[in-house]
Amino acid sequence: MAHTPLYEATDEDRSNWPQVVIVGGGFAGISAARRLSKERVVVTIVDRHNFHTFLPLLYQVATAGLEPADVAYPIRTIFGNAKNVRFRHGFVRRIDQVERLVILDDGARIAYDHVIVATGATASFFDIPGARRYALPLYSLADARALRNRLLLALEEADVAGERASVALNFVVVGGGPTGVETAGALSELIDIVIRRDGLRLDGDTARVRLVDLAPRLLTSFPESAASYAKRELERMGVDVEFGRSVVEVEERAIRFADGERLEAVAVIWAAGLTATGTLTDDLSTTSGPGGRAMVGADLAVVGCVNVWCAGDGAAIPDGAGQYCPQLAPVAIQSGRHCAAQISRVLAGEATQPFHYRDKGIMATIGRRAAVAKLPHLGVIRGTTGWLAWLGLHLWYLVGFRNRLRVMINWTWRYFDWPSGPRLIVADAETAE
Ligand SMILES: Cc1cc2nc3c(=O)[nH]c(=O)nc-3n(C[C@H](O)[C@H](O)[C@H](O)COP(=O)(O)OP(=O)(O)OC[C@H]3O[C@@H](n4cnc5c(N)ncnc54)[C@H](O)[C@@H]3O)c2cc1C
């Protein structure tokens, strides 16, 4: 029997369609929902935030380069035209696989025929004393805002202290991966701007950005040449890069290392790693994967579960070579889309297919006109070309035309060294009224 076209379906038609619940409106959840919006299913996206966050640009919000609204987009707006996609704001506590219910913190229960868990990961503090309490992670918009407040407050306090300041103004970034490198570079640019343009009474030599890592080099997922370039660029910008530094404790205004050094620090920024332990994926199946990720089969169905799928950072996705796919945006986008396609196949009575990750490369920006990119077929690109590639790709993937336009204007402004950026201390309860 011929179906009525999707756009002509009524609410009554839809009430008989299979129910797919997607937990998480990040890269994986959104791409799954986009794919399913073209199918005869009803999709409910549940997220604790009513917006999708473009995590790769969070560090620019944290260092006052972009506004929070530039990197976030309401999930309801993304699917405004899709009648079969709904949004439910809330925190999912657990999934009842016997009754096939998604159970929310507020007691609500949403029935599903298929569920995609796309809850991502969170910062890992490796049980280092004080790290969870005092270090500042960068994994959500709220983290970025809290970090921006702390950085700007520290700079204003230093201005008030002026000549009387006796302590060095250390900003310590822990972790030399892409997030650590990007944050350290942007922070050093922020300090330069507030001294040169905003007239803060700071001594550029006492305000130090220190990037520390246990590893012997930066950007371990990039080739050595890219890592040395990033180090050179950061040092040129005045960042101290220190390797082999093992953090043993974080205090309210200090950090301690295994070699006994205790460094006073106005902010310790935590970019040291991520984990899915403690998130929804952690107790999905009886076999927990590395870092709390859910073990999934080749088709991305969660091992040992029925009609439960997992995509993105929360899934331990086999890469076909005995390892797992990296926790990156392109993996999340492709795996989300793949889960959606498999659900359609199952509903149509077809066999599922294995997931194959198409490597899109990796990138990290260091500062204005300096970035590194490792691209399939093209190898390593760096300098201004790398930076332009980085800009183009991030603009392309940013959700929402207005966001793209605003970010492009902001970056163009900064490129010509005009002071821009929301250097506003928007007070949190902990900081002020
Ligand atoms: C600072 C930073 C920079 C990054 N830079 C890059 C980069 O340059 N390039 C790159 O490729 N990758 C980068 N990544 C990694 C990339 O962002 C992730 O791989 C990607 O976001 C994973 O997508 P996801 O959908 O699995 O999870 P996320 O994007 O984290 O989305 C998970 C969603 O689930 C929601 N959620 C979680 N738990 C619950 C719950 N119990 N109930 C309801 N909702 C819940 C969250 O609110 C969130 O919206 C970066 C990550 C970070 C943190």
Extended beta strands in 90-168, E state:
92-96, 101-104, 109-111, 114-117, 122-123, 136-137
The question of whether 182 is a catalytic residue gets the answer yes
Residue 251 placed within a domain:
yes
344 DSSP 8-state letter: H
The total number of structural domains that make up the chain: 3
Q: For residue 168, is pLDDT > 80?
A: no
Centre of ligand 1 from the C-alpha of residue 55, in Å: 6
Residue 262: which CATH number? 3.50.50.100
Residue 266 placed within a domain:
yes
The answer on 263 and 128 residing in a single domain is: yes
Residue 163 placed within a domain:
yes
Residue 415's SS3 state is helix
Handedness of CA 182, 49, 422, 414 (dihedral sign): positive
Centre of ligand 1 from the C-alpha of residue 196, in Å: 35
Quick one: which atom of ligand 1 is closest to the CA of 46?
A: 43
The answer on 115 and 14 residing in a single domain is: yes
The answer on 322 and 286 residing in a single domain is: yes
Residue 32 placed within a domain:
yes
Q: Are 401 and 172 in contact (CB under 8 A)?
A: no
Q: How many CB atoms lie within 10 A of CB 148?
A: 25
Query: Which residues have C-beta atoms less than 6 Å from ligand 1?
Result: 23-29, 46-49, 55-56, 58-59, 91-92, 118-120, 138-139, 178-179, 279-280, 312-314, 327-330, 332
39, 182, 189, 233: the catalytic one is: 182
Quick one: which atom of ligand 1 is closest to the CA of 313?
A: 26
The answer on 334 and 198 residing in a single domain is: no
| Digit-coded pLDDT (tens) for 23-38 | 999 999 999 999 999 9
| Digit-coded pLDDT (tens) for 285-316 | 777 789 999 999 999 999 999 999 999 999 99
Q: Mean pLDDT, the chain, as a whole number?
A: 91
- Residue 381, domain extent: 361-421
Last residue of a domain, one of 318, 347, 376: 347
pLDDT of residue 271: 97
| Digit-coded pLDDT (tens) for 115-147 | 999 999 999 999 999 999 999 999 999 999 999
Mean pLDDT of 103-116: 97
Residue 71: which CATH number? 3.50.50.60
Q: For residue 226, is pLDDT > 90?
A: yes
Single out the residue of 121, 399, 85 nearest to residue 281, CA to CA. 121
Last residue of a domain, one of 286, 320, 347: 347
Tell me the whole-structure pTM to 2 decimals.
0.94
Q: How far apart are CA 150 and CA 183, in angstroms?
A: 14
The answer on 367 and 297 residing in a single domain is: no
